[in-house]
Amino acid sequence: MPAKKGLGSKGKGMEALFSKKLDSINEGSAQKVLNIDMEKIQPNPNQPRKRFREKSLKELSESIKNVGVLQPILLRKSDDVYYIIAGERRFRAAKLAGLTEIPAVVKEGDDSEIFLMALVENIQRENLNPIEEAESLKRLMDEFHLSQEETASRIGKSRAAVANSVRLLNLDPRVKNFLSENKISGGHGKALLGVSDKNLQYKLCVKIINEDLSVRAAEDLVKRYTEKKKPAEKKENSPFADFENTMSDALNTKVKIVAGKRKGKIEIEYTNEGDLLRLIERISNPRKN
């Protein structure tokens, strides 16, 4: 699949290197395709996609039995082992089909470059579920010190799309699991972010699934519950909504401004110690972000 324009880096150093590595993904046609022993191939430990649907794999396996592997997978060699950069689904299906060798193009690169290649390849093919994509984008920003805008340019998406994706990580773990299983969409998850009570968030998610509600219907459902539960608080906070949204997008987490008669406070939500350290780094070094 041709790379989307906009992935190239305008920066220097490591970012420029990553850009060149990404461009090289699509030069497979100019490189020799080798038949690699399946026993020498290992999955990429940093593979962004964690779930592979069994039914889909079986269907692809049957296709491979009939017509073979039509597109080579992408590998990186380390000693006598080949690690998958892109094409793990094809590799798994080929194993199911009983193949002992698979066509592949071998690339060079270190672990961080390989992760970046795999991430962009998967996102461009839209093979990741919403949580896998959100986790991968967050890791991409944290490890390579990229802002939302820079990240968006590298994967061919808008900054708002990146921000909305990463915010899904603030959902209740049970809701995130539903997202991972594709029982609800990213749009449903975004609507549920409007519910601060995690238990209520989960209950509304179950209702959305059971009643097969559209994203618009889910938004209306959340609106009814939040207005009924905290009408006074919502009215009080409304003057700060724009500031809260701006700060939430900048920090990739929920931010709440609480105003008092004489003084107020800003509440910044974090999920774990690693997330807290990320926030401290982002606030302490804003120029890096």
3-state secondary structure 185-251: CHHHHHHHCCCCCHHHHHHHHHHHHHCCCCHHHHHHHHHHHHHHHCHHHHHHHHHHHHHHHHHHHHH
Model confidence band, residue 151 (pLDDT cutoffs 50, 70, 90): confident
pLDDT at 85 (0 to 100): 81
Task: Note whether 218 and 205 are within 8 A (CB).
Answer: no
What six digits make up the tokens of 21? Answer: 């590595």
CATH architecture of 14-159: Alpha-Beta Complex (3.90)
The position carrying tokens 């009080």 is 236
Model confidence band, residue 45 (pLDDT cutoffs 50, 70, 90): low
Task: Note whether 149 and 159 are within 8 A (CB).
Answer: yes
Using alpha carbons, list the distances in angstroms from residue 217 to 167, 187, 210, 211, 212: 20, 11, 13, 10, 9
Using alpha carbons, list the distances in angstroms from residue 58 to 86, 92, 97, 230: 19, 9, 9, 49
d(CA 174, CA 156): 30
Residues of the chain with CATH 3.90.1530.30: 14-159
Give this prediction's pTM: 0.52
233 is catalytic: no
Task: Note whether 218 and 192 are within 8 A (CB).
Answer: yes
Q: What average pLDDT does the structure give for the chain?
A: 77
- Residue-wise pLDDT for 166-183, tens only, equals 999 999 999 999 998 889
Give the pLDDT mean for 80-95.
Answer: 85
Model confidence band, residue 189 (pLDDT cutoffs 50, 70, 90): very high
38-47, 54-63, 151-160, 227-236: least confidently modelled range: 227-236
Buried b (16+ CB within 10 A) or exposed e, 156-177: ebeeebbbbbbbbbbbbeebbe
pLDDT at 179 (0 to 100): 93
pLDDT at 229 (0 to 100): 60
Catalytic residue among 27, 39, 88, 181: 88
pLDDT at 113 (0 to 100): 66
Give the pLDDT mean for 107-130.
Answer: 67
pLDDT at 124 (0 to 100): 60
pLDDT at 213 (0 to 100): 92
Using alpha carbons, list the distances in angstroms from residue 214 to 197, 200, 286: 22, 19, 38
